[in-house]
Every structure is written in C-alpha cells, then in structure tokens.
Amino acid sequence: MRELSLHILDLVQNSIEAGADTVTLEIIEDMPMDTLMIRVTDNGRGMDETTCQKVRDPFVTTRTTRHVGLGLPLIDMSTKRCGGYLAITSTLGCGTVIEALYQHSHLDRPPLGKIVETIQSIIIANPTLHFSYYHTVNQSAFALTTQELSEILDGIPLTQPDVLVWLNEYLTQHIMNLYN
C-alpha cells in the first residue's frame, strides 16, 4: 500500500470484523529515536497462539468472503523493509494488539497519507464503534474519542453534514499543529 493510512484502515476493519466494539489507534512519531509506531488495540474475539503465528501468511484468513488475507502480510513486509517490525499480541476472547514500527527516516517508509480522511471514514462508517485516536509527534500530542464527541454533540449524529465539516477542520488543524 502506498500510504500508512490505508494500512490503518485495514487494521481497524480487521478489528471490527473480529467483533470489536472498542478500537484504539495510536500513532507515535519520535524523531530523536527515528521511529514511527502505529498501534491498533481492540476488544474483538482475539486469536489463539497458532492463528496468531499464521496470520502473516497471505493464504491464511478467517474471513469467509475470500481465501486470502493480504493486510497483515503487506504491513509486515513494509515494516521489515523499513528497519522495523510487526508485533501481534492476542488473547482469545479478549482482543488483539497490532504494533507496526518503522524507521521514521527510512527512504522506503510510506508516508502517513490522508490520516484525516482515514479517521473520518472510520468514524462515519462505524457509528456505534467506541473509537479512540491518539497521535504524538515528539512532545506534542492530540487525542480524540468518539465517546467524547458524542457527549459534546448531545444527540446530534456524527454523520450530520455540519459535524462532518467541523470534524474535518478540527482534525486537520490539530494534526497540522503536531508538526509545528
């Protein structure tokens, strides 16, 4: 995939398909350590140890709609190509944590991409999902949770057009501020 945001979308979709109703996305960019970490944590059905070891194989998938699963093998390959790793920790019945680490400055590291649109897509497409987004760049941090947004909006749906415009502007402003 050309952008890390597409990997993120795939990882969150995997969580939802695994029955998660709570998903946390963390992006941690540490320039002095030259690392970029993406961590997706969910409370889905989890995987046993055998399945957890096999999911990096593109011909292993738990989906019934197709016989291949390319998401995890592609991000695994991408991290290794960029001096990093993919770690998968899962407990059957409790959930999964996927951690992808990249060397931030690596020439082959894909760009983060359209993270604002990715976050919006996750929120809009999954209105009942308890979604948390944390993004840190060095010492600057930004956090957003759908629970907090819902409380502020007091019954106004997150998919309402004016809310979508505001959300786009809010995310764009705060993410840009992380890099300044």
Give the pLDDT of the chain (180 residues) as one tens digit per residue: 689 999 999 999 999 999 999 999 999 999 999 999 999 999 999 999 988 888 877 665 555 554 444 678 899 999 999 999 999 999 999 999 999 999 999 999 999 999 999 999 999 999 999 999 999 999 999 999 999 999 999 989 988 999 999 999 999 999 999 998
From edge to edge, which strands make up the β-sheet containing 85-91?
85-91, 95-103, 35-42, 22-30, 130-137, 140-145
For residues 40 and 15, the answer to whether their CB atoms sit within 8 Å is yes
Q: What is the CATH number of the domain that holds 168?
A: 3.30.565.10
Residue with tokens 């990882």: 11
Q: In which region does residue 157 sit, left (phi positive, over 0), alpha (psi from -120 to 50) or beta (all else)? A: beta
Residues 6+ apart with CB under 8 A from 114: 3, 5
**Count of the separate structural domains present in the chain:** 1
The H-assigned helical ranges of 26-145 are: 49-54, 71-81, 115-125
What pTM, to 2 d.p., does this model score? 0.92
Structural domain harbouring 99: 4-178
